[in-house]
A and B are shown apart, each in its own frame.
Chain A
């Protein structure tokens, strides 16, 4: 077919993505560096504010904790999945996919009903005659909700990578007398390290940009960058601050993602060179 036909095929999506998303995004970003004066003045002022700084630090801290927890739990689970027979693996993989496709509101609602004052957890503590506590609207609630949100992504990204390692290497190690723990730490983990890195960055980026869960489980008490952005733009119409927070969020998610992905590529190349 002619080149012009292909250009016609592409014109609609290119116009939509460029004109309604990329270009407006750039137009929102530029003024944050140029108005009122060229430079990083706006950002310095943003971080000088104690509240803003605490919100930024909370976002980063909670997202890092979420990522580490997802790695800690997700890596062994993905390894376990990769050892199953193909039929069981497929079933388990789609089971794990199910929460991922379920609405984030439902998933956060489930945790509200567990963690709230009259929630399941406190009902259970009451039955056991243990002291009850407040769990909702805390940092911990946001972390639990975020882990719940992104653990399926971690597992689903890792399990095909773990499968690719192949049973031969693992069985060779077993037959040479290596204990499973050693196999895990000396074969599985090094060979899937770049995969863990990529999945980890996906979780981090997702956790720091999620809106629904922090807003439902953290509320106005424990704000994150995403809830701050919506407060500034949706309710206060403070566009300058909103654009500024958008840039910070983009750097934290996209920027970190790009950085770590290139790092993972480099590690892969080095591994390939070693073998």
Chain B
């Protein structure tokens, strides 16, 4: 029986290939997403592990609260006076303050060194202790020393021909400064840190240009041999002043990595939805193919039944066929998944979520989930046609003509319309009656299934209507119409597959254009501004106040209003705030000011929330906390050409 099944499959190679392709495509998406997710996970773990590999413990201030999305928790800088206390702790081999922040490199011509997809442009302090540098190593030159030296990442140096000894400008939140490039930096064998640009300064310089003099972001500690990270963190925790804490280096790396991964979760969810849709369509194609197979092979099945194959054997042989098909297709899909993962990665680069580079990771779970899902979908889709095959009567082997198609029953129409009706009801209930969005999803599914069930009923009248102009073209048109009407079930199955495909295309484009429209609405509703000045990097904390003056001096500019935002806790809940220029904010933005006591405008609700939701996209959000630094005088808003936050200056003319 199995031999018969397999022979039958290979006898129809083209059909086999087409069916396999449909399932393989769905599985490829699924596998691609899973591969990308595990690759991302590993890449970020590696990235943060690399940077902090030499750090055994980190002393930092405690977070006043956890940000609402768990990302970008703001911390105040820690006073430099804690450093001597830390150094005295038993088991501490080396301890140094660390500062990082926005730093935009420029090339020899003074042009900004931009990153792909708005990846961060960062500046860091370079520890003098080599172990504390972790995987950050000098590839050429020497470590920066003094107020005028910088070491930059090797990629920026190579791509922009910035030679050692040349003088470049570096942009900060504060005034732009000139530095001499004294070294190039690599990161454990790679020439940049996951597509970002890096500028390294000595600690005092970094404090001045990136942070606050007298403070560090964190104090990084390296343990003496034989002292574990946990032990070190415990000892440090006992001596640090109130408001500060000591955590292990591993924990910090994990936190940073988790925060980014949390941020990029929506990407996986989006791709998984695509995979689900692809498999749904695939299951339709399988169902259709098997229905065709069963019809075509009716005589073969009848012969087998006549010479003694039981119904169960017929069912089993078709399910085995589906199983083999599903397994092979899933395996092919898994292979294609690698290509899909690569493609998705490129796609993400293009739309602005560049990922750290690492080889693609195929986890064991990816393999079995893909194989299982693909095979299961195929077998389940083949179930109904296979059951129909068991109804083939043995006498049909003796009949010369193939049996005519069964007439669609009235029961079918009733069931179909009932299911479609309740589905539509569920959708309306969810849209206007306040039911959960899940009800909408189920309703959508139900109405599609209902329409598919009822479809054979309307094939005849529909074909007659559509066939009207065809008939006028003579016999071929007439034949075409009759052919469509001859087997309503077949016609409707084909139409259903098309329907699902079209539903997908339409829903995706509606989704995209609504997204675009609502984005545009927010901007046009909330501002009267004609232009927005935004920073080049999504990482930028904003502009130097001098930019405001520069913009003001441009002929034709009437009003310039700086604004910024940050994370804060309002009424016990993490939220975000916006800072505006009280002088002219109302002229450039449609702010519904409810109360303005002593120069503070408060507006609760959507504006803030809207921002934070959008702001969680992309890597920029992990840095949200940065903008809540004391020096919030400069501007920074979330809108721009990409859903990224960047400093902006709104202007009206």
B is a partner of A = no
Measuring CB to CB, which residues of chain A are less than 8 angstroms from any residue of chain B? none
Residues of B within 8 A of A (CB): none
